[in-house]
Amino acid sequence: MKLVFCLFLFTTACFYAQAQKGETLYAYKKDWSPTSSLDSAFFVMSVVKESDTLYTCRNYQIYGPMISWESYKDAALEVANGDFIWYNLKGEKDSSASFLNGQKINFENNIKDVAQKSNNSTKKPAVEGDSTQQRQIDVNIDPADARPAEFNGGIKGWTSYLEKNLVTPERLKNLTNKSTKYTVVVCFIVDKSGNLSNIRIEKSVEWSADNEIIRILQKSPKWLPATIKGSNVVYRHKQSITFLVDVY
């Protein structure tokens, strides 16, 4: 069981305001002992109750990228159940494993996805990004007989959706004193009905940026599902989204 200490006294309003619904935040010192002060915190742990049998725990450097993504069956965070992902110091996915009722069922290290990229940049300063389309999960097949999943309206519609809905977190803006870009890479499933699920961060920036990407995907309208020979199939999609932070 993880020793946790609830952080009730967040002095940074934007940090608190950008928490997800059902999310609880905890702060820790460098030795992972609990603290009630952000000034002495070295790590932050975010726990989200996804359902009665799924609790997602994400551990972060206090002002840096994610350290680990963990899935548990219980609120005490004792029974590992689902995806676990570990990240390097740059926030890049380093390795992953899956658990079922506390038992590890697979492990992958230094995953290198084979992907076909297509640029999707926007001229507006709110966001820019690219869309990466990965292979269908169900079966490898002649591309001529397959259509990848896409946002209703295509790349133009997806870019418009991001421009209208994506918000650059104040906390992210305050991490630098110069204009810069922060890119989050996320992977998710588009099911046969066009619903998005299994949202996972592949390249983390920091807590508030990752949270905003997860929020925008959870809020997304249905996509057009992928098809093989005219039949809908499950599809895995990889997406890069870049926050543009301007400092004047």
Helices (H) and strands (E) in the chain — how many of each?
A: 4, 17
pLDDT band at 247 (very low <50, low <70, confident <90, very high): confident
State whether residue 238 is helix, strand or coil: strand
Q: CA of 117: how far to CAs of 113, 123, 159, 164, 240, in Å?
A: 12, 19, 16, 24, 10
What is the structure's pLDDT at 19?
61
For 130-180, what is each residue's pLDDT tens digit?
Answer: 343 433 344 455 667 788 999 999 999 999 999 999 999 999 998 887 789
Beta-strand relationship, 180-190 and 146-147: unpaired
In angstroms, the CA 124 to CA 160 distance is: 10
pLDDT band at 116 (very low <50, low <70, confident <90, very high): very low
SS3 content of the chain, % helix, strand, coil (to 5): 15, 45, 40
Tell me which of 9-13, 166-170, 212-216 is least confident. 9-13
In angstroms, the CA 176 to CA 191 distance is: 38
Q: What is the pTM of this model?
A: 0.80
Q: Is residue 214 scored above 50 in pLDDT?
A: yes
pLDDT band at 236 (very low <50, low <70, confident <90, very high): very high
Exposure b/e, 66-81, CB count within 10 A at least 16 = b: bbebbbbbeeebebbb
In angstroms, the CA 73 to CA 50 distance is: 10
CB 203 within 8 A of CB 216: no
Q: Which residue has the higher pLDDT, 115 or 86?
A: 86
Question: What is the helix (H) or strand (E) element at residue 157, kind and residue range?
Answer: helix 154-165
